[in-house]
Amino acid sequence: MHFVNSPSRRPLGPRTLVNVCVLLVFGIGFASPVRGGPPEIRIEENLATAIEAYDGGDYRTAITAWTRAANLDSTDAMTSLADMYFRGVGVVADAGRALALYRKAASQGDGVALMNVGDMHLNGYGVRRSSLEAYFWFRLAGRAGQVWAAEQAEFLGQNLTDKQRLQVEERLSRGIPSP
C-alpha cells in the first residue's frame, strides 16, 4: 500500500517542535492525558504525544493519543490509526477497521485517506477487490491533490468502458460519500 501518512515516515516538523516546546514551557507532560483547552490545541497535543510515543516504540500510548485526537475529528490521527490497524502495529491487524478509519477521514476530504481507500479497493484489503471502486476513490484523491492517486486513476481508467466512466463521473458529482 502507499501510505504517505505513515507515522514511521513522519519526522517531527517545525510546527510539532514548537508545540512540544509550548507544552514543556507550560508544564504539560506527555504522559498526562490531554483533556482541557480548545479542540485544536488538544488535537495538536495528542498528535505530538502520539508521534513521540510511536517513535519511542510505545505503541499503546500512541494509539491512545491518536484515538483521542481522532475522536476530536483529526483526520491526521484517523489515518495514523488506520495505518496501525492495517499493519498490525501495537494492535491486532484489522483491515476492516483500517478501512473504516480511512473512510471516516476520507469523508472529511483527507487526500491521503481517499488515496488509501482506493488502494484498499484495488488490492482487496478489508473489502471486495474492485478496480472500478478504486478508480472512483483515486479520482477523489487526485482532486484532493494526491498525484500518485491521479496517476493510478488514469491508468485504471484506460481499462474501463465508457458506461463505467460515466457512472463514476455521476458519483463524483455527488461528492465524497459518508463513511
Instruction: Reply yes or no on whether the pLDDT at 87 is more than 60.
Output: yes
138 and 56, same structural domain? no
Q: Which pLDDT score, from 0 to 100, does residue 156 have?
A: 97
Higher pLDDT, 71 or 7: 71
Q: pLDDT value at position 80?
A: 97
Q: What pLDDT is recorded for position 4? A: 47
36 and 65 inside one domain? yes
- Is the pLDDT assigned to residue 34 strictly greater than 70? no
pLDDT in tens, 63-77: 999 999 999 999 999
Q: Are residues 3 and 81 in the same domain?
A: yes
Give residue 24's pLDDT band: very low, low, confident or very high (50, 70, 90): very low
The answer on 125 and 44 residing in a single domain is: no
CA distance 100 to 116: 11
Cα dihedral across residues 84, 89, 95, 100: positive or negative: negative
The H or E element containing residue 157 is helix 147-157
pLDDT attached to residue 23: 38
The alpha helices in 30-124, defined as continuous H runs, are 39-55, 59-71, 75-87, 95-106, 111-123
Q: Domain check: are 110 and 100 in the same one?
A: yes
Q: Tell me: do 82 and 99 sit in the same domain.
A: no
Split at pLDDT 50, 70, 90, the class of 178 is confident
Whether residue 62 is found in the same domain as residue 73: yes
Cα torsion 102, 107, 113, 119 to 10°: value is: 80
Q: What is the pLDDT of residue 1?
A: 55
Chosen domain end from 93, 110, 126: 93
Is residue 64 located within the same domain as residue 111? Answer: no
Q: What is the average pLDDT score of the chain?
A: 85
Q: Please tell me the total count of domains within the chain.
A: 2
pLDDT > 70: what percent of the chain?
80
Residues 115 and 84 in one domain: no
Last residue of a domain, one of 43, 61, 93: 93
